[in-house]
Amino acid sequence: MEVIAFHVANVVAPILLCVLVGYAFARLDLPFDNKMVGALVSNVGYPALILSHLSAQHVAVGPFLHMMFVAVLVVALFGAIAYVYLRLMRLPVRAFLSPMTLNNVGNVGLPVCSLALGDAGLAYGLAFVVVVLVGTFTFGTWLPQGKVTGSDLYRKPVIYAIVVAIALMATGTRLPLPFDHAVSILGGLTIPLMLLTLGHTLATLKVGALWRGLSLSLFHLALGVGVAFALLHVFAYHGTERGVLILMCLMPVSVSTYLWVEMYDLEDAPDVAGLILLSTVLTVFVLPLALAFWV
């Protein structure tokens, strides 16, 4: 038990400390440009991390693509079940469906998978990140707008990075050494910046009715547990793949979805902010239990 507690502390404590640094920046009113950091992570950090980590052959291309398929199933199940729940509770689908569907697999999920499960865990975690990023750039923006618009997905460097990375994995090819070192350095920016941004964003959210956020957060957690163990039963994952699937399903609501709700649905934005805040806090308490008994 002491060994398990030590392992859990080594995973959770560094993440919380990094988030608290970002939180302190906001509370002390220190300069922090969320928009610039977000652009840096999405256009440079994610593509570099994908290229550097996947080309290092920590996992084979077949299992990685299978994990991407499972990630698609996770998003689809979250979306379908959340849609029914929101309709039954008479809550606005336009505001809440994308937050309930897209988990925070980047800001929280990747650091947890990396610290808890090592290089292979980070590689499998990237499969979830790619799927959720595509969801964010498509229906994650369409739902708050209330319409389907022309997507600029093809302009996102992360899409090309994953294509190149899969080609490298399939052929067993490594990047040229100078380029490999460069993307490794740039990819190293990603996780620290995401954690700082999460802390800063949580400190600056304008929160609405907390009771609604709490009820949705509890349902989101129950949904994550149910989907994770249903898919584990279907695919019989073990080891690292099992751990990544469970952890990614237990991740809190994605912060990035709030940006679009705030832009196109101001009336419901405070309630969505409450959901994000309480979902993240709830994960802080659930994560140690998951690491100790399920992963």
Q: How far apart are CA 228 and CA 74, in angstroms?
A: 8
Q: What is the pLDDT of residues 226-238, one digit of tens each?
A: 999 999 999 999 9
What pLDDT score does 23 carry? 94
Amino acid at 201: T
**Separation of CA 293 from chain center:** 22
pLDDT for residue 66 is more than 80:
yes
Q: What is the pLDDT of residues 143-192, one digit of tens each?
A: 888 777 766 677 889 889 999 999 999 998 888 999 999 999 999 999 99
Q: Give backbone dihedrals phi and psi of 103, rounded to 5 degrees, phi first.
A: -80, 160
pLDDT category of residue 223 using cuts at 50, 70 and 90: very high
Tokens representing 82 are 């959340």
Look up the domain containing 204 and give its range: 2-293
Q: How far apart are CA 209 and CA 125, in angstroms?
A: 32
- Looking at every residue in the chain, the average pLDDT score rounds to 91
- Interacting residues of 228 by C-beta distance below 8 A, sequence separation 6+: 245, 246, 249, 250
Cα torsion at 18, 19, 23, 26 (round to 10°)?
70
Task: Tell me what percent of the residues of the chain surpass a pLDDT of 70.
Answer: 97
Q: What is the pLDDT of residues 77-106, one digit of tens each?
A: 999 999 999 999 999 999 999 999 999 999
Least confident of 6-15, 55-64, 84-93, 210-219: 6-15
DSSP string, 202-247: HHH-----HHHHHHHHHHHHHHHHHHHHHHHHHH---HHHHHHHHH
Q: Give backbone dihedrals phi and psi of 253, rounded to 5 degrees, phi first.
A: -65, 140
Domain holding 156: CATH number?
1.20.1530.20
pLDDT category of residue 205 using cuts at 50, 70 and 90: confident
Q: Give backbone dihedrals phi and psi of 169, rounded to 5 degrees, phi first.
A: -65, -45
Q: What is the pLDDT of residues 274-287, one digit of tens each?
A: 999 999 999 999 99
DSSP string, 63-113: HHHHHHHHHHHHHHHHHHHHHHHHHHTT--HHHHHHHHHSB-IIIIIHHHH
Mean per-residue pLDDT for 180-209?
90
pLDDT for residue 209 is more than 60:
yes
Instruction: Specify the number of domains making up the chain.
Output: 1
Q: What is the pTM of this model?
A: 0.92
Least confident of 6-15, 35-44, 215-224, 281-290: 6-15
